[in-house]
């Protein structure tokens, strides 16, 4: 089974609107971290936001927020007031914390977001 | 502060050739890793290291070797390049292996094998 599933290969959003990028995950660990990265057309990977499995509040970083629903195993990224510069590929990732194993980061297949005028 | 430095940025190889992708970080990070990125497949883990002298295989290790003789460096070796290894390669590191430790990425190496 896929550990990280991003079901939206591509999304469009109008400038200044909000958009939600979906991410579901699969783990049997109690301790894990969820991350979102942005990859613009220039290719670099930019860390956006982090949510811990024990965090009771949703993480926020500026215009980015993470809608964390633990029972549903979902960690959707919400971008408010979209800007043209938000056009990029977005990856959801998980770091599991099983005792005795190295904590690797597993990525989803990504969602390409296009912001339009 | 340079962060994670990868070289080269671009490389073209012929089938059967070998080469080393270099990765260095100056942040005293404990954890280092190599990923390959292919269209529609996200980033897949090749090898990783939790400290000097310690390496392990990731999801797609065949055809690649790594070593970690120092905390700073984590080179990736292609033993005998194949067209299936055409990809974009990323080196990434984190301060710890804790679940709250984000990865910091290099700028990537675009490799073409003909």
**Residue B19: what pLDDT?**
96
Q: Tokens 């190496």 appear where? A: B109
| Residue in chain A nearest B100 by alpha carbon | A33
| B33/A31 CB distance under 8 A | no
- Smallest CA-to-CA distance from A85 within A64, A108, A54 is with A64
* Planar angle of CA A108, A109, A114, nearest 5 degrees: 115
**Residue A103: what pLDDT?**
75
| Residue in chain A nearest B104 by alpha carbon | A47
Bridge partners of B31, per DSSP, are B94
Contact B43, B36 (CB under 8 A): yes
Nearest chain A Cα distance for residue B101, angstroms: 8
CA atoms of B46 and B43, how far apart (whole Å): 9
Q: B-chain residues within 8 Å CB-CB of A53?
A: 99
The tokens for B33 are 């890793």
Where residue A18 falls among pLDDT bands split at 50, 70, 90? Answer: very high
CA atoms of A15 and B19, how far apart (whole Å): 44
**Residue A101: what pLDDT?**
56
- pLDDT by residue (tens digit) across A25-42? 999 888 899 999 999 999
Q: In percent, how much of chain A has pLDDT > 90?
A: 86
- pLDDT by residue (tens digit) across A53-101? 999 999 999 999 999 999 999 999 999 999 999 999 999 999 987 655 5
| Residue in chain B nearest A32 by alpha carbon | B99
**Residue B106: burial class (beta carbons within 10 Å; 0-12, 13-18, 19+):** buried
Rg (CA), chain B: 13
| A44/B35 CB distance under 8 A | no
**Residue A72: what pLDDT?**
96
Nearest chain A Cα distance for residue B114, angstroms: 22
**Residue B23: what pLDDT?**
98
A89 in contact with B at a CB cutoff of 8 Å? no
**Residue B2: what pLDDT?**
77
- pLDDT by residue (tens digit) across B5-62? 999 999 999 999 999 999 999 999 999 999 999 988 889 999 999 999 999 999 999 9
Q: B-chain residues within 8 Å CB-CB of A32?
A: 99
Contact A44, B107 (CB under 8 A): yes
**Residue A1: what pLDDT?**
62
- Smallest CA-to-CA distance from B113 within B8, B12, B39 is with B12
The tokens for A82 are 């979209």
* Planar angle of CA A57, A46, A7, nearest 5 degrees: 70
**Residue B1: what pLDDT?**
64
| A47/B35 CB distance under 8 A | no
**Residue B18: what pLDDT?**
96
The tokens for B53 are 């002298």
| B45/A104 CB distance under 8 A | yes
**Residue B11: what pLDDT?**
96
**Residue A5: what pLDDT?**
96
- Smallest CA-to-CA distance from B43 within A106, A111, A39, A66 is with A106
Contact A3, A106 (CB under 8 A): yes
């Amino acid at each position: 089974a896929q550990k990280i599933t991003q079901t939206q290969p591509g999304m469009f959003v109008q400038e200044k609107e909000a958009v939600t990028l979906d991410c579901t995950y699969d783990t049997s660990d109690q301790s894990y971290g969820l991350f979102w990265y942005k990859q613009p057309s220039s290719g670099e990977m930019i860390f956006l936001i982090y949510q811990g499995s024990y965090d009771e509040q949703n993480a926020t970083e500026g215009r980015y927020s993470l809608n964390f629903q633990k029972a549903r195993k979902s960690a959707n990224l919400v971008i408010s007031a979209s800007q043209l510069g938000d056009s990029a590929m977005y990856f959801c990732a998980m770091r599991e914390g099983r005792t005795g194993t190295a904590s690797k980061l597993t990525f989803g297949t990504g969602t390409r977001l296009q912001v339009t005028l | 502060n340079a962060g994670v430095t990868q070289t080269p940025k671009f490389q073209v190889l012929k089938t059967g050739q070998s080469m080393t992708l270099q990765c260095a970080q100056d942040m005293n990070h404990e954890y280092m890793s190599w990923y390959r990125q292919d269209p529609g497949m996200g980033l897949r883990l090749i090898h990783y290291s939790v400290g000097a002298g310690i390496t392990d295989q990731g999801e797609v290790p065949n055809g690649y070797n790594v070593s970690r003789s120092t905390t700073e460096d984590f080179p990736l070796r292609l033993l005998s390049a194949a067209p299936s290894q055409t990809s974009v390669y990323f080196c990434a590191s984190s301060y710890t292996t804790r679940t709250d430790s984000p990865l910091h990425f290099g700028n990537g190496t675009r490799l073409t094998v003909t």
